[in-house]
Amino acid sequence: MGWLLRSLAGPVLWAVLFSAVYALHGIGCAGGWQNRPFFWTDLQHAVLAGLWLTGIIAHLILVRYLPSGDGIKQFLIIAGTVIGLVSSAITLFPVVIISSCLSL
Protein backbone atom coordinates (compact mmCIF):
# COMPACT_ATOMS: atom_id res chain seq x y z
CA MET A 1 0.00 0.00 0.00
CA GLY A 2 3.04 2.24 0.40
CA TRP A 3 3.11 3.23 -3.28
CA LEU A 4 -0.59 4.11 -3.18
CA LEU A 5 -0.08 6.42 -0.22
CA ARG A 6 2.87 8.01 -2.00
CA SER A 7 0.66 8.55 -5.07
CA LEU A 8 -1.92 10.26 -2.89
CA ALA A 9 0.55 12.52 -1.09
CA GLY A 10 0.66 15.24 -3.77
CA PRO A 11 -3.12 15.63 -4.20
CA VAL A 12 -3.62 15.44 -0.42
CA LEU A 13 -1.12 18.26 0.07
CA TRP A 14 -3.01 20.28 -2.57
CA ALA A 15 -6.29 19.66 -0.73
CA VAL A 16 -4.79 20.76 2.59
CA LEU A 17 -3.12 23.81 1.05
CA PHE A 18 -6.25 24.82 -0.88
CA SER A 19 -8.39 24.52 2.25
CA ALA A 20 -5.86 26.40 4.36
CA VAL A 21 -5.48 29.27 1.88
CA TYR A 22 -9.26 29.54 1.40
CA ALA A 23 -9.83 29.54 5.16
CA LEU A 24 -7.07 32.05 5.81
CA HIS A 25 -8.44 34.26 3.06
CA GLY A 26 -11.81 34.38 4.84
CA ILE A 27 -10.21 35.01 8.22
CA GLY A 28 -8.00 37.75 6.76
CA CYS A 29 -10.90 39.53 5.07
CA ALA A 30 -12.94 39.36 8.30
CA GLY A 31 -9.98 40.69 10.28
CA GLY A 32 -9.22 43.56 7.89
CA TRP A 33 -5.72 42.26 7.02
CA GLN A 34 -6.02 43.77 3.56
CA ASN A 35 -5.90 47.23 5.15
CA ARG A 36 -2.71 46.61 7.12
CA PRO A 37 0.45 47.50 5.16
CA PHE A 38 3.21 44.91 5.14
CA PHE A 39 6.40 46.01 3.38
CA TRP A 40 5.47 46.73 -0.25
CA THR A 41 2.14 44.86 0.00
CA ASP A 42 -0.55 44.25 2.62
CA LEU A 43 -0.71 41.68 5.39
CA GLN A 44 -3.40 39.66 3.64
CA HIS A 45 -1.42 39.17 0.42
CA ALA A 46 1.78 38.56 2.35
CA VAL A 47 0.29 35.81 4.52
CA LEU A 48 -1.50 34.08 1.65
CA ALA A 49 1.49 34.28 -0.71
CA GLY A 50 3.79 33.05 2.05
CA LEU A 51 1.58 30.06 2.70
CA TRP A 52 1.25 29.34 -1.01
CA LEU A 53 4.99 29.47 -1.60
CA THR A 54 5.64 27.26 1.42
CA GLY A 55 3.19 24.77 -0.02
CA ILE A 56 4.86 24.90 -3.43
CA ILE A 57 8.22 24.17 -1.81
CA ALA A 58 6.67 21.21 0.02
CA HIS A 59 5.26 19.99 -3.31
CA LEU A 60 8.69 20.28 -4.94
CA ILE A 61 10.16 18.19 -2.15
CA LEU A 62 7.52 15.52 -2.79
CA VAL A 63 8.24 15.60 -6.53
CA ARG A 64 11.95 15.21 -5.87
CA TYR A 65 12.01 12.62 -3.11
CA LEU A 66 8.79 10.59 -3.18
CA PRO A 67 9.04 8.56 -6.41
CA SER A 68 10.28 5.02 -5.86
CA GLY A 69 9.72 1.53 -7.20
CA ASP A 70 9.33 0.79 -10.87
CA GLY A 71 6.81 0.36 -13.65
CA ILE A 72 3.29 1.61 -13.19
CA LYS A 73 3.72 2.12 -9.44
CA GLN A 74 6.53 4.58 -10.03
CA PHE A 75 4.54 6.26 -12.79
CA LEU A 76 1.56 6.75 -10.50
CA ILE A 77 3.71 8.21 -7.72
CA ILE A 78 5.31 10.66 -10.15
CA ALA A 79 1.91 11.50 -11.65
CA GLY A 80 0.42 12.04 -8.20
CA THR A 81 3.16 14.39 -7.03
CA VAL A 82 3.07 16.36 -10.29
CA ILE A 83 -0.75 16.59 -10.20
CA GLY A 84 -0.46 18.04 -6.69
CA LEU A 85 2.22 20.55 -7.70
CA VAL A 86 0.43 21.75 -10.85
CA SER A 87 -2.90 21.96 -9.03
CA SER A 88 -1.48 24.07 -6.23
CA ALA A 89 0.43 26.28 -8.64
CA ILE A 90 -2.57 26.98 -10.87
CA THR A 91 -5.50 27.08 -8.47
CA LEU A 92 -3.76 29.26 -5.88
CA PHE A 93 -1.73 31.62 -8.07
CA PRO A 94 -4.45 34.29 -7.61
CA VAL A 95 -2.99 34.99 -4.16
CA VAL A 96 -0.30 37.09 -5.79
CA ILE A 97 -2.22 38.91 -8.51
CA ILE A 98 -5.81 39.59 -7.49
CA SER A 99 -7.40 42.01 -5.05
CA SER A 100 -8.24 40.08 -1.97
CA CYS A 101 -11.52 41.08 -0.38
CA LEU A 102 -13.40 43.12 -2.99
CA SER A 103 -16.60 41.54 -4.20
CA LEU A 104 -19.56 42.34 -6.42
Partner 1 sequence: MTDIPPNKAQRALHLHRELDKVWADLPGLRGFFTSVNHGTIGLRFMATAFVFFAIGGVLAMMIRAQLATRQGAFLSSELYNQIFTMHGSIMMFLFAIPLLEGLALWLLPKILGARDMAFPRLSALGYFCYLFGGTTIVLSLIFGVAPDGGWFMYVPLSDKTYTPGVNADVWLLGVTFVEISAMAAAVEITVTILRCRAAYMPLTKMPLMAWYLLGTAAMMLIGFPPLILGSILLELQRAFDWPFFDITRGGDPLLWQHLFWLFGHPEVYIIFLPAAGALSTIIPVLSRTKILGYGAIVAAILGLVFLSFGLWVHHMFTVGIPHMALAFFSAASALVAVPTAVQVFAWIGTMYEGRVQFRLPMLYIIGFFATFVLGGLTGVMLAMVPFNWQAHDTAFVTAHLHYVLVGGFVFPMLAAVTWWMPMISGRWRVAGLGESAFWLIFIGFHGTFFIMHLTGLLGMPRRIDAYPDNPEWEILNLVSSIFGMIQAAGFALFAFDMVMQWLFGRRSWRNPWRAPTLDWAMPLPAPSYNFASLPGPVHDNATAILPLAKGEGLLPGAPRGHRETLVVEPASGKPDHIAVLASNTALPVLTSLAIGSFFGLMLAGLYWLTPIGIVATLVMAWRWGTIMGVDYDPPWIEVAPLLTLPTHFSVTNTLAYTGCVALLVADGTVFASLLFGLGFLNVVAPNWPAPETGWATGMMGLMALAAFLVILAATFAGRKAATSRDPRVWTRVGFVCAVLGLILMAGLATGLDDPRRHAGDALRAVMLGYVAVHAIVVAMLALRSDRDARTGRVGPHRRGAIPAWQLFQRFLLFTATISLTVVVTQEVL
Identify the residue among 35, 63, 72, 85 touching partner 1 (CB under 8 A): 72
CB closer to partner 1, 48 vs 58: 48
Q: Give Cα 11 distance to the centre of its chain.
A: 10
Identify the residue among 6, 14, 58, 66 touching partner 1 (CB under 8 A): 14
* Minimal distance, residue 60 CB to partner 1, in Å: 18
Segment 39-58, which members bind partner 1 (CB under 8 A)?
48
Residues 3, 55: Cα–Cα separation, whole Å: 22
- 97-100 contacts at long range (C-beta below 8 A, 24 or more positions apart): 100/25, 100/28, 100/29, 100/33, 100/34, 100/42, 100/44, 100/45, 100/48
Identify the residue among 18, 20, 51, 56 touching partner 1 (CB under 8 A): 18
> What pairs with residue 42 in β-bridges?
37
Q: Taking Cα atoms as reference points, which of 9, 16, 22, 19 lies closest to residue 82?
A: 9
Residue 101 near partner 1 by CB under 8 A: yes
Using CB under 8 A, list all residues that contact partner 1: 1, 3-4, 7-8, 11-12, 14-15, 18, 21-23, 25-27, 29-30, 48, 71-73, 75-76, 79-80, 83, 86-87, 90-95, 98-104
